[in-house]
Amino acid sequence: MRNRLLALTPNVLEQENLSNHTTLKIGGPCDYLIIPDTVEELINVVSFAKEQGIRLTVLGNGSNVLVDDSGIDGIVLKTTNLKTITVEGNTITAGTGVRLSTLCETALQNGLNGLCELSGVPGTVGGGVYMNAGAYGGEIKDTLTTTRYLSETFEVKTLTNEEHEFSYRKSVFQKHPEWIILESTFTLTPGNREEMKKKTVELLKKRNDAQPLEYPNAGSTFKRPEGYFAGKLIDDCKLRGCQIGGAQVSEKHCGFLVNKGGAASKDVVKLIQHIRNTVEDAFGVTLEAEIRYYKRGEDSVRL
């Protein structure tokens, strides 16, 4: 199998631990980890997996993801080498693997405004579009104009902004897991570079001061429930610092779970369940996790 995959792309790792590829630093091995360098390689791998009936999982930077300690069967397709980025006038087109921080820096260097709020989000363009990533009042949907994606029939198609069906932390791609984001185009407005830089620095400092970036984490654990803030609900339940195994409710920001060292996937699952049950009992509010859980032999689910 490995030789057949190497004929499609040179970047093939066998039995690679996915703890090396997720921001929580948790996760067992996958059968094959493939990191294509081009869209053509990606299409070839996807086609091969479908022909052979092999499970295929797409991974970006590995944020908002929990991988079970048993790992993932089949092929994990990591998109981080698909990072072409071009600027034409007021538009930027970025490959699915481009870091959001790189996208924001490119906009800043070209004096294009509209992305400052996303500069600290620890994901890729593909992941950001998939979940309509946002921070400090800004969301992907605000500036995105089109996305090119690979359909289930291996055709490269394009969606307009409206066709993404964006809402809070949702997009049409969550309804169609077989679609694979290839690149997105953003239309921005000319801005004052120094003012934009000042705003970006201020927001990054705010993020660094408020969030537990010193520990492995998956980003914000729960979606914001309507009318509430998840972190405050968790704090009001006196769960700050609550720990199961190596997984802990951050003492710095209760909206984050951190890996204090040696956390197992089951620790995170149990802690999320404990938080959800406690908050529901206390306030009648059901917290919805942002984190997707991947487990060998099963389709991914929201925790």
Is 152 one of the catalytic residues?
A: no
Please give the Cα distance from 150 to 46 (Å, whole number).
9
Is 195 one of the catalytic residues?
A: no
Cα–Cα distances in angstroms (integers) from residue 1 to residues 30, 79, 242, 295, 298, in the given order: 14, 21, 44, 22, 22
Is 296 one of the catalytic residues?
A: no
What are the two backbone dihedrals, phi and then psi, of residue 167, each rounded to the nearest 5 degrees?
A: -150, -170
Residue 176, beta-bridge partner list: none
In angstroms, the first-to-last Cα distance of the chain is 32
Q: Are 76 and 35 in contact (CB under 8 A)?
A: no
Please give the Cα distance from 68 to 1 (Å, whole number).
24
Residue 292, beta-bridge partner list: 65, 302
Among the options 19, 169, 184, 265, which is catalytic?
A: 169
Q: Are 16 and 30 in contact (CB under 8 A)?
A: yes
Q: In angstroms, how far apart are the furthest CA atoms of the chain?
A: 56
What are the two backbone dihedrals, phi and then psi, of residue 252, each rounded to the nearest 5 degrees?
A: -90, -40
Q: Please name which of 292, 295, 287, 214 lies closest in space to residue 255, comparing C-alpha atoms.
A: 287
Among the options 184, 220, 250, 265, which is catalytic?
A: 220
- Tokens standing for 277? 């049950």
Instruction: List the catalytic residues.
Output: 169, 220, 290
